[in-house]
Chain A
Amino acid sequence: MAALAADGGGGVLNRKSRRAAISIAILLIIWEIYGSFGRLYGPEGATPPPIPPASDVFVTWYHLLFDADYWKSWYLSGLRVLSGFGLAVLLGIPLGLLMAISRPFYGIAFPPFEVFRPIPPLAWVPIAIIFWPTQELSITFVTFLGAFTTIVINVLGGARSIDARYFLAGRSMGATRWDLFRRLIVPGTIPSIAVGAEVGMGITWSVVVAAEMISGGGRSLSGTGGGLGYFVWNSYVGGQFPHIIVGMFSIGIAGYAASAAIRKLGEVLTPWLSTR
């Protein structure tokens, strides 16, 4: 049975990766042709198409790999994501758990939370800039908001959906309220925390990029030093079209890597889910 699955799985995997490679290759070719079109066939002096060909982008990217400022953009965005996300985890998990276990606290905390939750994080950007003394804090704050609501909602929902039988079983084995919280609610909520964190991480990246674009990514820093979002925006303002696309891909890679890392961490923390 296992051997069969492995054989079949290998074949499917090969077929899958072959298809993926083909479709991406076709995409790159179309892009390359489209990007080069004006240059190759357009009349002398005509405006080239706004999208640079794939080759230009990858050459630019290659050069940027040796550019400290490019990596500094990675670093700055990463730092903002990490601090905003970290803060969201640190505050969101206890808040969600507290709302789940205490009816009075839920009654007090949930309504205001629900009032603020539908406001998109980016709508907070102006007020964040006004409120916080530094750009850095404003961006971190908005980033924090992006992950915070998602994590709280997931923790709350997860803690509440733990099967009541577990609590009865725990009580019949002599568990106190504290035991129930520590030994049942917390571990029972971990899968939801992991899901919330993964989704929150995705939101965090889109928020940080937009916040950097809007706020200027920290004006004290010059040129490309203002985070990946600022990198993209600045390249646009400066007319460096290949850089725009490099920045976009970089953000995609960073966001994917961050989410994958969180997912991996979630799997490590929930070994019982991967055995099914």
Chain B
Amino acid sequence: MSAVLAARANRAHAGSARGALRIDNAVKRYAARDGAVLAVDHCSLDIAAGEICMVVGPSGCGKTTLLNAIAGFHSLDGGTIHLDGELLCGPTRPLADPNSDRVVVFQNGALFPWKTVLDNVIFGPVMQGKLRRRDAIEKARHRLDEAGLGGTEGAFPGELSSGVRRRVEIVRALMNDPSVLLLDEPYRALDSLTKSVMHEALLEIYYKNKVTIFFITHDLEEAIFLGHRVVVMTTRPCKLKKILEVDIPHPRNYAVLTSPRFRALMEEALEAVQAEARKAFDAGEREGA
């Protein structure tokens, strides 16, 4: 219990005024050939403002469905989602309004290839008329410098490596001053070395802009290294299986990977995930047969 309390304190330390996400009994069904498939089954999750919440689960378990519901891309069939006490979606309005307070960063990246890095980064605020172009450019330059991306302003995304592109995309998302950053396996396509650089870079950005991060991943090491908590989901339908409080204090760096506490958490997470992965695999086998 004390570990949980310590973790809660750790999360509270994250210290951000906004971005508390509350998912209550979320349900989502998809129509399929043989009737409705339950994708998300009464999922409840309370995410503190400024928390990094890592969501882990087998492929196709419905994690992304949950993220899409928060983002406003998909509707819910039951339950509610609140952001800072305000209803995003619920029975009265199943589909949340997509809004720049919840910006998504996608698995394969979605920088606009026809815009330069600078134009990509100022896209949100300028489009919404929140900032004048000149002010947005100034802010963007500052943010890019801060993220170690100075000098890439004039480049097109196609000229950059995938690691740099992903960092630019996170800066672009943060330019909207979101309450929540929704990351859908943003580093999946990266090699493990680039990934480790990305992780430290993300934390560095996070320490400067304390937003709530809802981060979907398959990578347990990534999950434990970055998260205040790791939420393990069951295989379809998506339910909460286990919540791991990562009581390693922030700020973290790559040294914690070798710490005994990290290894212990890894083991604990692995056990939970392995069982679900096995179930998902067997289910897949059955479907395939």
A and B found bound together: yes
Chain B residues within an 8 Å CB radius of A174:
98-100, 124, 127-128, 176
A275/B159 in contact, CB under 8 A: yes
Q: Which bracket fits the contact residues of B?
A: 20 to 34
**Within residues 169 to 196 of chain A, which ones have a CB less than 8 A from any CB in chain B?**
169-175, 179, 183-184, 187-188, 190
* B interface majority secondary structure: loop
Question: CB-defined interface of B149-175 with A at 8 Å, one 1/0 digit per residue?
Answer: 000000111110000000000001100
Chain A residues within an 8 Å CB radius of B73:
168, 171-172
Q: Is B71 an interface residue (CB 8 A)?
A: yes
A276/B158 in contact, CB under 8 A: yes
B156/A172 in contact, CB under 8 A: no
Taking the nearest CB of chain B, how far is it from the CB of A161, in angstroms? 13
B114/A168 in contact, CB under 8 A: no
Chain A residues within an 8 Å CB radius of B173:
173
Say which residue of B72, B104, B128 sits within 8 Å of A169 (CB atoms). B104
Q: How many residue pairs between the two chains, A and B, have CB atoms under 8 Å in the bound complex?
A: 72
Chain A: CB-nearest residue to B111: A169
Chain B residues within an 8 Å CB radius of A270:
114
Chain B: CB-nearest residue to A272: B156
* A187-B114, A275-B159 known; A173-B103 Cβ under 8 A: yes
Q: Is B102 an interface residue (CB 8 A)?
A: yes
B106/A168 in contact, CB under 8 A: yes
Chain A: CB-nearest residue to B159: A275
Q: Is B15 an interface residue (CB 8 A)?
A: no
Chain A residues within an 8 Å CB radius of B110:
163, 165-166, 168-169
Chain B: CB-nearest residue to A167: B110
Q: Is A271 an interface residue (CB 8 A)?
A: yes
Given the complex of chains A and B, what is the CA–CA distance between A272 and B114 in angstroms?
Answer: 6
Chain A residues within an 8 Å CB radius of B127:
173-175, 179, 183
Given the complex of chains A and B, what is the CA–CA distance between A179 and B72 in angstroms?
Answer: 17
Given the complex of chains A and B, what is the CA–CA distance between A198 and B124 in angstroms?
Answer: 34
* A interface majority secondary structure: helix
* A165-B106, A166-B112, A168-B104 known; A173-B176 Cβ under 8 A: yes
Q: Is B60 an interface residue (CB 8 A)?
A: no
Taking the nearest CB of chain A, how far is it from the CB of B106, in angstroms? 5
Chain A: CB-nearest residue to B175: A173
Given the complex of chains A and B, what is the CA–CA distance between A193 and B35 in angstroms?
Answer: 43
A190/B176 in contact, CB under 8 A: no
Taking the nearest CB of chain A, how far is it from the CB of B72, in angstroms? 7
A172/B114 in contact, CB under 8 A: no
Q: List 15 A-B contacts (CB under 8 A).
A: A165-B108, A168-B71, A170-B123, A171-B98, A172-B72, A172-B73, A172-B100, A172-B103, A172-B104, A173-B124, A174-B98, A174-B124, A183-B123, A272-B156, A273-B158
